[in-house]
Structures are given as structure tokens and as C-alpha cells.
Amino acid sequence: MTSLRTDSLIDRLAAGVAPVRPLPAPELRALMALATIVATAALAVAWFGDFAELRNRYSGRETHLALEMAAILATAAIAIVAAFFVSIPGRSKRWIAAPIPFFAGWLLVTGLGCYGNLGRGGGVEWELGESLHCLAFIVATSAALAPLLVWRLACARPIDPLPVALLAGLGVAASSAFVLQFFHPFTVTFIDLAVHLTAILVVVGTVGLLNRHTLVRA
């Protein structure tokens, strides 16, 4: 009698279950998110970016520019890819540390550029000046890029959303810093670098704090 009731219950429950559509592979989802961010950033740069000013600012330092841009872009891409992998239960937690070497390389290359300015007679400037505009630019651009990325990540319903959110925040902040290079009207100084880093921390911290509201737990 109990067996019959159990079988009947199972049948009733199974009858109302809808088929689950599996998510695409995390690398494919990451590629789609990156494509959207790249397309959005490319349109903004094409319409409003100042390529002539960028070339003038790095005249004679083209190698430094290439290394700096590559490090920023790698930080953004690896952080976003890592966020999609970490959002899937069972994936290696080593992905959390994946963007760190590229982020460190970015800060190192930019810091060396700031030091090089001293040798060229640039002097040390400790006034904020236009640096606050850089902070506002990174924060505002990240706010525009983050919702779509977070929505895509939330589809996986990560069990531990905090590292996913932190990686996503770093990804959009680095993407914004990359776009900023095309709008930056002056040579980066140490105080400017500190402001950029502050803006990145603000974005990462904000997305991290909002993880419970944006990345629903399983």
C-alpha cells in the first residue's frame, strides 16, 4: 500500500516537471558577454575617442602603450572568463586568482610609465586636478556595462556568489579603464594611477556588496 502511494506521488510530481534547458558552456557564455562589451566599447571609442591625443601622449613610447593596453585588456578578459567558470559548481577555484598576474602587470607597467615621466622632467604632481573625472568615468562606465554581465552570470545561480561578483566587478572596471585610455587628456601620474586604482576598488567593492541581490543563490 505504501509503495503504491509512493509511486503515485512520484508520478504526480513528475507530471508537473518542465524540462530543464542546460546553460551553454561557460567559455561560450563568457565569449558572448565579452563580445557585447567589446561592441559597446568600440562604438563609444569610435564616436567619441581621441586617437590623435592618445598617439601624442605616448609618442616615442609605443611599446609601453602596447604593453599597458594589453595588460588592461587581459585583466578584463580573464576576470570575466573566470567569473563564468567560478559561477559553475565544481569548477576549479583557481580561476579566482587567474586575473591577478595580469592586474599586477598592469599596475607595474603603468607605474613604470609614471616613473619614466620623472626622468623626462614631468615632475611629481600631487594635486588631483582632472583625476576625479577619471574616477567618475570608470565608475559610470562600469555601471553601464555591469548589468548585462551580472544578468548573464546570474543565469547560473552560483552557490557562492561573492567571488563571482568580485571577478565581474574587476572585469567591468578593467574594461572601463581600457576605454578611458582613449579619452584621457593627460599623461598618467602617480596620483592619477592611485585614483584609477581607487575607482576600480569602488566598482569591485560595490558589485561585491550587491552580490546577494544580483546573483541569486541556488
* pTM greater than 0.85: no
Kindly list the domain boundaries of the chain, sorted by start residue.
23-214
Three-state SS for the chain is: CHHHHHHHHHHHHHHCCCCCCCCCCHHHHHHHHHHHHHHHHHHHHHHHCCHHHHHHHCCCCHHHHHHHHHHHHHHHHHHHHHHHHHCCCCCCHHHHHCCHHHHHHHHHHHHHHHHHHHHCCCCCCCCCCCHHHHHHHHHHHHHHHHHHHHHHHHCCCCCCHHHHHHHHHHHHHHHHHHHHCCCCCCCCCHHHHHHHHHHHHHHHHHHHHCHHHHCCCC
Across the range 84-100, mean pLDDT stands at 90
pLDDT in the model for residue 16: 63
109-151 pLDDT, tens per residue? 988 887 776 655 554 555 556 678 888 999 999 999 999 898 8
